[in-house]
Every structure is written in C-alpha cells, then in structure tokens.
Amino acid sequence: MPVLLLYLNVFACVALSFFCVCVWWQMTSQAGAEILVEKVGNAGVITLNRPKALNALNMNMIRLMYPQLKKWETDKETDIVIVKGAGGKAFCAGGDIRAVTEAGKIGDALAKNFFREEYILNNTIGTYQKPYVALIDGITMGGGVGLSVHGRFRVATEKTLFAMPETAIGLFPDVGGGYFLPRLQGQLGLFLALTGFRLKGRDVQRAGVASHFVESQKIAALEKELVDLKTPSIEDVSRVLDSYQKRSSLDAEKPFVLEQHIDLIDELFQSNSVEGIVHNLKTDGSPFAQKQAETLAKMSPTSLKITFKQLQAGGTMSLQEVLVMEYRLSQACMVKGSDFYEGVRAVLVDKDHSPKWSPSTLKEVSEQSVEDCFSSLGDRDLKL
C-alpha cells in the first residue's frame, strides 16, 4: 500500500507539473500571439495584438484573421464578430509596409502576396454575411482602415485618429480607398486622399468614415452588451450602437473640424487634374488653400496623379473592381517606380522626412506612365 501511495503521489505531481506547463505555454503563446481569437458566447472576438507596433498589420496577422473570419461566417454558433486593437493607443496604425519594401528590393514574393492577401481580407470584410463591428478606439490608418471601413459597423471614440497618408510615402490610398473615399460627401474623399489630412474623434463619424461615435470609457460596456445579444440581427446591433451614441455627448457641441472649409474644398478640389487642383489652391490664396498647396507640394507627384485617377474611376466601381484595380497599382508601385521605396526610407527608415521623388514635379509625370500603372496583369490579376 505505501508503494501504491508513493506511485499515486508521483503521478499527481507529474500531472500537476504537466498541467502547469500547459497553462504556462498557453498563456505565453497567447501573450506572444499577434492575433488573439476568443469565442464569447455567440460572439467571435478578434484582438489585433502588436501594441508596441501600434498593431500594424503584417502577413502573419492577415493569414490568421482571414480563415477565422471565413470559419465564423458559416458557423451556426457565431452570430456577430467584433474586432479591436490591444494596448489602448491604436486599433491598427497601418500595414507593415517596411517589410513589404524590403521584400520588394530583393524580389521576395511578400511584395506580391502581402497586397493580394490583404485585399482578399478587405473584400471578405466588405461582403461579410454577419454583423461585423470594428471598435476603432485609437489610431486607425492605412491597413487599419481596410480592416474596419468596409465592415457594417465602425465605432470611433475620442481617441480615434484617422488618416490615409499614402501619398506621403509614394503609395496611394489602397485597401479599398478607391471605393469608400469617392463616396464621402462632395470632394471630401479626394481631399483626404491627396493631402493625408487627419480626422480625430467625433469628426471621423461626421465625415462618414465611422458609423458611430461612442466615448472610449463606454467601449467595454458596449462590447459586453454586444456579446450578450442572442442571435442579433443587423437592426439589433444598430439599436445598441445608436443607444450608446446617444449617451456619448463628448465634443458634441464642437463643429466638424472642416465645417468652415467644406464648401471651399468642394470648389477647389473640383477639377479634371491634380495640376488643376493645385492651380485652384494657389489662385484662391486663402490661408487654408495655401496650406493645402504646401502639403501637396511635399507629396509624391506620381502618387498624387495615381490617386486622382484611382478615385475618379473608383466612384463608379464595385468594391471588388476597386480592389482588382488597386492590386495592379500596388504592383506598379513595387516594380515600375522608386517613390514607394524612397517614401518609406524617408518616413520610416531614416526618418529625415526629405524624400527625393522621381519624377520630382507633376509636369514630369506623364499621363502614359500613370495609365500604365492601371494596366491588367493578365493571369497575375487579383481574383476575388
């Protein structure tokens, strides 16, 4: 009997040790995971978990998020999907474009695959068959916009900072920017696309980028209420979000940051060319117009012309057609020009913020060179 007790004690110790190791491994792997996936009741919750990198979207995150969304879309036990960012500062500050440009320099497949798989993910969100709620409680730019703006519900807070700053790095407002930006009021989308102007807090909802505004301190309670909904319809989710928005009075008395300029934006950004817009801004001469002219002068001339044509075309396209077009543009930026590499160097690598664009002026960017960027890639085109 003592021998039996000894064996039982040894077995119990081993079992406890194994259990502790398993718990430690799970906690460690979860802590180190770039995407946290939870099932809370009938809600699927995804947390972007690279807080030190402001949750910047990389290939690994895309490849974890996409199959999970597809699985939940057909899962009878999942009724709603909630996406949020960890760390309290950012939802997602953009794509990991530094890694993409490094790959492009050596001909690595990441330069093709990143954009392809990111845009497929954007389309999945834009066509999602269940309520999709993005809690954009913090910095939301570039790739982060792609993870939110095409979803049914986008909840901004006073901490939200939105921008599509791609023309400053020799790129263009991708991830479906050619779809949602032309559909904002008047010329606002074109203004945001060309200048990279930043919207904050309630203004993100006023502009139409976010569907709702809820104070940051109420987000945890909002999430719990959404998670507790039983087989919610789109209308059920909308009612909950509307109720929280009504109880969020912060900054309600402040006017839209661009309110006094919106008519001027519509007037000055109504043109058949980027050169025409610059001419309008310089001719107007108001402090606001002068500031925008100075901003455009710092951007990649090639990016400005590509972006202008992208939004012109995207205004009458479906999201799928836009993403196919944008994939062509992404590959043109990787292969046909140097501005994307130079922009990333100047802003993210050396951080001297003095890019040397080539060509360096709008006049030098030929219409043919812009047109070539939109050309079909044949069997390498994005397929959705």
Residue recorded with tokens 């062509």:
328
Which of the following is catalytic: 44, 85, 94, 95? 95
Whether 110 and 62 have beta carbons less than 8 Å apart is answered as: no
Active site residue 143: yes
Which of the following is catalytic: 96, 166, 215, 342? 166
Which of the following is catalytic: 143, 176, 201, 337? 143
Neighbours of 71 (CB within 10 A): 12
Which of the following is catalytic: 34, 96, 118, 174? 174
Q: Residue 105's Cα: distance from chain center in Å?
A: 24
Active site residue 142: no
Active site residue 166: yes
- Letter string b/e over residues 264-294, b meaning 16 or more CB atoms within 10 A of that residue's CB: bbeebbebeebbebbebbeebeeeebeebbe
Residues 6+ apart with CB under 8 A from 163: 141, 192, 196, 197, 198, 199
Which residues are known catalytic residues?
A: 95, 143, 166, 174
